[in-house]
Amino acid sequence: MIQLTVNGQKRQFDGDPEMPLLWYLREELQYTGTKYGCGQGLCGACTVHVNGKAVRSCQTLMSSAAGQSITTIEGLSATASHPVQQAWRNHDVPQCGYCQSGQIMQAAALLREKPRPTDAEIDAAMKGNICRCGTYQRIRAAIRDASGQTVKGAR
């Protein structure tokens, strides 16, 4: 029996310990904000927090999630009022929206580690999160905004 905490609630899993965390979150718990993208940990659509660190849930096995605290996009803020979520809206970041939960989770983890990141630090942290719509400039502006830094030329 695998025990873990998801979005602040104690959970138990008695299935295949080799199952990716992504499928447990989406299929068992119905937290569908975490998206399936590539299945290889390359696109970032499935990013969640494990003990506050951004990880790719498609590559995280249930066995390694045992005893861990998992936060999904649904658990980041019950009212979507997290500073990153607010900045995302303020800067009209989403277009198709598919990658956005992973992008937001990656950005929130970055700001937890580096509250006032440079553009180079933002680019490095977000490098593994792919946006097919190419909203990278707005993503960077939203992260700077969420960090309290002035954003020149932003909407």
CATH superfamily of 2-76: Beta-grasp domain (3.10.20.30)
Asked, colleague to colleague, whether 2-76 and 83-146 share their fold, the answer is no
Asked which of 74-78, 83-87, 130-134, 149-153 is least confident by mean pLDDT, the reply is: 149-153
| % of the chain surpassing 70 pLDDT | 96
Side chain identity at residue 22, one-letter code: L
pLDDT tens digit sequence for 10-23: 999 999 999 999 99
pLDDT grade for 95, boundaries at 50, 70 and 90: confident
Asked: is 83-146 a CATH 1.10.150.120 domain? The reply is yes
Q: Where are the domains of the chain?
A: 2-76, 83-146
Segment 24-37 mean pLDDT:
97
C-alpha angle 48/50/53, rounded to 5°?
85
pLDDT band at 70 (very low <50, low <70, confident <90, very high): very high
Q: What is the pLDDT of residues 105-118, one digit of tens each?
A: 999 999 999 999 99
Query: What pLDDT score does 155 carry?
Result: 45
Q: Is the pLDDT of residue 66 over 70?
A: yes
How confident is the model at residue 149, as a pLDDT? 75
How far apart are alpha carbons 84 and 108 in whole angstroms?
Answer: 6
Whose tokens are 């299945």? That residue is 39
The two three-digit tokens of residue 13, written as one number: 């899993």
